[in-house]
Amino acid sequence: MKPAAVFYDPAFLLHDTGAHPENPARLTSIVDTLKHSSFAQRLAWPKFGPASLEDLTAVHTEKHVAYIQASCLGGSGNLDPDTVVCPASWEAAKLAAGAACAAVNMVMKGEYGSAFCAVRPPGHHAEPARAMGFCLFNNIAVAARRAITSGLAKRVAIIDFDVHHGNGTQAAFYEDPNVFFVSLHLAGHYPGTGWTDETGAEAGIGTTLNIPMSAGSGDQEYMDHLETIALPAVKKFGPNLIMVSAGFDAHAADPLGGMSLSTQGYYNITSTIKSLADEVCDGKVVSVLEGGYNIKALCDSAEAHVKALLGL
């Protein structure tokens, strides 16, 4: 069994958000949990660098990238009521996208069986020309685009199980037939997008699948939607790589959620995704951290997630 890779850098901790739900303790707790897990010896911790300007502008506008740079280096402050930056956020944001790109590169080349990117700031709300929802650059979108433009993959599927809809990822690939985006999320929750009639446009019609779910949905509801709607559609698409926007804020204990997933539920979801990957793309899964704001629930869920990626 190939090891799973965890992509983490202490520079992520320097993205100082102050008294904010998305804070450095999220990562230090995850990393400590993984390093002391029962499967710690099966994990690799590769080195990686920041995303290039070319990688960032393959998803984001040049104006947006310049705005993030100027906003961060100009001092600490808010880009919107939810999204905080400081001077170190510029390097952290580039490195977060770089981690996802490196993970794709190494997994697609067979160096690791799967990967989990323990990064911040998160990314799935960042649209091509807008930072929002704690997110500066769309880490998973940058990496998915890189996978395709580099020739490592012809088709990429992104499964987003964060409690919030991944509006930024949807926007990045809404007209792209080579990326299939599926999101399971709380209906009507922030940012208010992700309805069933949002299915793509132009050449990308049919490659966006939104599954808005009722408040309080738990393990059974998630598995039902995953097994009957999401995964059959992904299988039909036939990806060379499955990527996961791994938000753990649908956990019953999460203060920003509104769902009732358990830690075991996250294991089951991930295990089911990994089984599909084993069937359609030689097990290649790259997961990128998004939300999760109860530290204990976050650590336990991330540990269960990585355990399932290992096939344990």
DSSP-derived 3-state class of residue 174: coil
Of 15, 125, 185, 189, the active-site residue reads 125
The CATH class, in words, for 4-309 is alpha beta
User: What is the token pair recorded at 107?
Assistant: 């997994």
Whether pLDDT at 1 is above 80: no
Task: Give kind and range of the element (H or E) at residue 7.
Answer: strand 4-7
Query: How much is the mean pLDDT over the chain?
Result: 98
Q: How far apart are CA 299 and CA 248, in angstroms?
A: 9
- At 159, is the pLDDT very low, low, confident or very high (cuts 50, 70, 90)? very high
User: For 191-220, what is each residue's pLDDT tens digit?
Assistant: 999 999 999 999 999 999 999 999 999 999
User: For 251-307, what is each residue's pLDDT tens digit?
Assistant: 999 999 999 999 999 999 999 999 999 999 999 999 999 999 999 999 999 999 999
Q: So where are the chain's domains? A: 4-309
Dihedral angle, C-alpha 8, 92, 51, 35, nearest 10 °: 0
Active site residue 15: no
Other beta carbons within 10 angstroms of residue 228's beta carbon come to 10
pTM for the full model? Answer: 0.98
Side chain identity at residue 81, one-letter code: P
Average pLDDT score over residue span 93-102: 98
